[in-house]
């Protein structure tokens, strides 16, 4: 606890020296601790994905075939229209006024070859990666986290993420098998549903609206049966409860890791380096969840709130103690003095206790009776 925080260069050297397998074992270690504490369930898993902005500029992309940059590409388009030697202002005006359509098959980043052109959650078009989570809906632990290229569709990675989550459960020591998969309508595809049915998985994936009715003439019957079974399950009340829980739990994991944790913007390049960094962040998220379930405290902000609560608790106890002492001292004075008790400051020589002095409470002492004073004078 007394050691200083490691420098960022030290963390970089550690990441470069340790292979990806070590980072995966760190992620599994947290799941093993959760399994030892009987916190993992794993029966119902929710899958969702988000985009992470890569450490590469979109304006620096080049064509895969010729290697020309964006500026040379615009000059070629203007040359086809008969404009020779355009200025920078002409290029900017021409690029702003036309409809852009850039494909990952034709363009790539020279600085980060694994990044892909994709649309972010806020609507911007950037070079990005795709992060995907498989979360246990009962315990809220992230069972599997992977970084993919942003051009991979959700339907292409659903089964692989569920299989990875099942493998992580087995490596963590759990004997529970995944039986239900919950996802949004972006994961709906007849082929994917049939593949999940082959793995004996019940899917709860809403079907997107289509303009015309689906035709099954040239499709396998397994695709149709899986789609119709998923449609029946989605109409049930359980599906609505699971979708509500999915939107709460999975989106919360993305919020803690990508927004609060600062993982939305990647500062590393390369799929392997980004995966290493993201696995450590997800392991930290699972560790904080484990601490909250065991001790009720999982983050430094919670400790700050606990200190404030402790201060208010001490102040409240002090106020209650002072009021109790005032009542107790007033009642004792009334019992000793009887009906002839007079109000006023206590006589000299009657010092309050140290605790009463700290609280500012002074117990009034009953005044001496006239007969008692005469008796004491005769004895003297």
Q: What is the per-residue pLDDT across 109-157, written as a single tens digit (0 to 9) for each?
A: 999 999 999 999 888 899 999 999 999 999 999 999 999 999 999 999 9
* Separation CA 208–CA 200 (nearest Å): 23
| pLDDT surpassing 70 at residue 375 | no
**Two tokens, residue 314:** 């001490």
**What single-letter DSSP state applies at residue 99?**
P
Q: Are 333 and 79 in contact (CB under 8 A)?
A: no
142: burial class by Cβ within 10 Å (0-12, 13-18, 19+)?
buried
The pLDDT score that the predictor gives to residue 354 is 47
Which pLDDT does position 145 carry in this prediction?
A: 97
Chain position carrying tokens 């690029």? 95
How many helices (H) and strands (E) in the chain?
Answer: 12, 8
Mean pLDDT, the chain, integer: 85
pLDDT at 348 over 70: no
Distance CA 272, CA 265 (A): 16
**Residue in this structure with the two tokens 């009953």, named with its chain if needed:** 366
Residue 324 and residue 67 in contact, taking contact as beta carbons nearer than 8 Å:
no
Give pLDDT, residue 333.
Answer: 59
pTM listed for this prediction: 0.76
Any long-range contacts for 328-336 (C-beta under 8 Å, 24+ apart)? 329/356, 329/361, 329/362, 329/363, 329/364, 330/364, 332/363, 333/363, 333/364, 333/365, 333/366, 336/366
Each residue's pLDDT tens digit, 207-255 = 998 888 888 888 999 999 999 999 999 999 999 999 999 999 999 999 9
The arithmetic mean of pLDDT across residues 273-289, rounded, is 95
With a cut of 80, say whether residue 339 has pLDDT above it: no
Q: Is the pLDDT of residue 377 over 90?
A: no
Mean pLDDT of 363-375: 51
Kindly give the pairing relationship between strand 116-119 and strand 125-136.
antiparallel
Residues 152-184: tens digit of each pLDDT: 999 999 999 999 999 999 999 999 999 999 999
Phi, psi (degrees; rounded to nearest 5) at 28: -70, -30
- Quick one: which H or E segment has residue 89? helix 88-97
User: What pLDDT sits at residue 118?
Assistant: 93
pLDDT in tens, 49-105: 999 999 999 889 999 988 899 888 888 888 888 888 888 888 888 888 777 778 899
Q: How confident is the model at residue 20 (pLDDT cuts 50, 70, 90)?
A: very high
Residue 37: pLDDT above 50? yes
Segment 288-307 mean pLDDT: 73
């Amino acid at each position: 606890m007394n050691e200083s925080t490691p420098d960022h260069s030290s963390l970089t050297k550690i990441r470069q020296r340790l292979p990806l397998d070590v980072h995966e074992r760190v992620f599994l270690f947290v799941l093993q601790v959760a399994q030892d504490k009987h916190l993992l369930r794993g029966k119902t898993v929710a899958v969702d994905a988000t985009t992470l902005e890569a450490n590469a500029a979109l304006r620096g992309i080049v064509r895969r075939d010729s290697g020309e940059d964006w500026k040379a590409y615009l000059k070629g388009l203007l040359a086809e229209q008969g404009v020779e030697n355009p200025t920078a202002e002409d290029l900017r005006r021409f690029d702003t006024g036309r409809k852009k359509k850039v494909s990952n098959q034709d363009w790539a980043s020279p600085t980060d070859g694994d990044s892909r052109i994709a649309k972010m959650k806020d609507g911007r078009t950037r070079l990005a990666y795709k992060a995907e989570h498989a979360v246990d809906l009962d315990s809220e632990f992230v069972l599997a986290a992977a970084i993919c290229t942003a051009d991979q569709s959700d339907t292409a990675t659903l089964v692989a993420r569920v299989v990875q989550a099942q493998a992580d459960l087995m490596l963590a020591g759990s004997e529970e098998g995944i039986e239900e998969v919950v996802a949004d309508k972006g994961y709906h595809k007849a082929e994917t549903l049939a593949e999940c049915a082959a793995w004996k998985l019940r899917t709860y994936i809403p079907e997107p609206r289509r303009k015309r009715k689906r035709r099954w003439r040239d499709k396998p019957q397994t695709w149709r049966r899986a789609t119709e079974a998923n449609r029946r399950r989605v109409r049930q009340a359980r599906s609505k409860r699971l979708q509500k829980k999915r939107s709460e739990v999975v989106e919360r994991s993305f919020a803690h890791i990508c927004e609060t944790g600062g993982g939305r913007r990647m500062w590393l390049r390369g799929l392997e380096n980004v995966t290493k960094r993201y696995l450590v962040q997800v392991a930290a998220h699972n560790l904080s969840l484990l601490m909250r379930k065991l001790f009720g405290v999982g983050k430094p902000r919670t400790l700050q709130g606990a200190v404030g609560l402790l201060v208010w608790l001490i102040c409240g106890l002090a106020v209650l103690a002072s009021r109790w002492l005032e009542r107790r001292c007033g009642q004792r004075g009334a019992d000793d003095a009887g009906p002839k008790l007079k109000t006023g400051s206590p006589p000299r020589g009657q010092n309050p206790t140290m605790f009463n002095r700290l609280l500012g409470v002074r117990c009034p002492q009953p005044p001496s009776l006239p007969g008692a004073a005469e008796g004491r004078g005769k004895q003297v």
